[in-house]
Amino acid sequence: MKLTITNPLTVADLLTLSADYKMTTGTFGGGSPRFTLEDASGIGTAYIYWGTPTGGGSFSDPNAGSVGLVSTGNLVATSDIRVYDNNFNGDGASSNFGLTWTQFVANNGNVNLGDVYLDLDGGWSMEGGQQMLVNNFTVNNQVFTAEVAPVPGPIVGAGFPGLMMAFGGLLAWRRRRNQAAIT
């Protein structure tokens, strides 16, 4: 999923970042699921991995085995969250170690965001791949609700009130002044 920021939004302005999801195939792994923040210049990214840190940069699904959709909670307000800087704002950093959200904001608070992605691309790391049902995606006070629609390729609506993401799939949402549209 991709949210293109059309009004100025800095890293420090990002106060809520969450999604409602259910892993339907596979588990957390291979660096996903995660949110990716892209700076407005398109130079670099920062990764916010979902789940509970297990050490060595790995995360586990705190809701594994849940029957219904669950929320990630507000990831930017979570003390366990780790942000992995990948040349964000051209700082030359690699994503080999995680910063807390507070550290990341201290370093990059005034940097404008260009895009916010929800990535599910770690299916290569497990037998059977990954699939995840996503019902919505929240950035600050805007909730972007998925609409089931026929989409070519590996992304399919599965008759659920949401969108199914599969390994290698990308869903895109574009924000246009208080309105969301699937693009």
Question: How many degrees, rounded to 5, is the angle at CA 104 between CA 99 and CA 107?
Answer: 125
Q: In 3D, which of 66, 53, 59, 56 has the Cα closest to residue 20?
A: 66
- Please list, residue by residue across 95-126, b when 16 or more beta carbons sit within 10 angstroms of its beta carbon and e when fewer do: beebbebeebbebbeebebbbbbbbbbbbebe
Peptide bond into 154 cis (omega under 30): no
- What pLDDT was estimated at residue 2? 64
Give percent of the chain above pLDDT 70.
75
Pick the residue with more confidence: 126 or 48? 48
The answer to whether residue 141 scores a pLDDT higher than 90 is no
The answer to whether residue 135 scores a pLDDT higher than 90 is no
How would residue 4 be classed by pLDDT, with cut points 50, 70 and 90?
Answer: low
- What pLDDT was estimated at residue 169? 38
Task: Please give the average per-residue pLDDT across 113-124, as a whole number.
Answer: 87
Kindly report, residue by residue over 86-98, the tens digit of the pLDDT: 999 988 877 777 8
- What pLDDT was estimated at residue 79? 75
Task: Please give the average per-residue pLDDT across 97-125, as a whole number.
Answer: 89
The answer to whether residue 56 scores a pLDDT higher than 80 is no
Pick the residue with more confidence: 166 or 183? 166
The answer to whether residue 81 scores a pLDDT higher than 70 is yes
pTM (predicted TM-score)? 0.77
C-alpha Rg value of the chain to the nearest Å: 15
| Total domains, the chain | 1
Rounded Cα–Cα distance for residues 102 and 106 (Å): 6
Question: How many degrees, rounded to 5, is the angle at CA 174 between CA 82 and CA 100?
Answer: 10
Pick the residue with more confidence: 165 or 18? 18
- What pLDDT was estimated at residue 13? 94
How would residue 146 be classed by pLDDT, with cut points 50, 70 and 90?
Answer: low
Rounded Cα–Cα distance for residues 125 and 157 (Å): 24
Give percent of the chain above pLDDT 90.
27
Q: How far is residue 176 from each of residues 38, 145, 159, 163, measured CA to CA in Å?
A: 18, 14, 27, 21
Q: How far is CA 36 from the centre of its chain?
A: 5
Task: Please give the average per-residue pLDDT across 117-133, as a whole number.
Answer: 86
Rounded Cα–Cα distance for residues 165 and 137 (Å): 13
Rounded Cα–Cα distance for residues 90 and 86 (Å): 9
Tell me which H or E stretch contains 123.
none
Domain that holds residue 67: 2-182
Q: In 3D, which of 112, 140, 120 has the Cα closest to residue 36?
A: 120
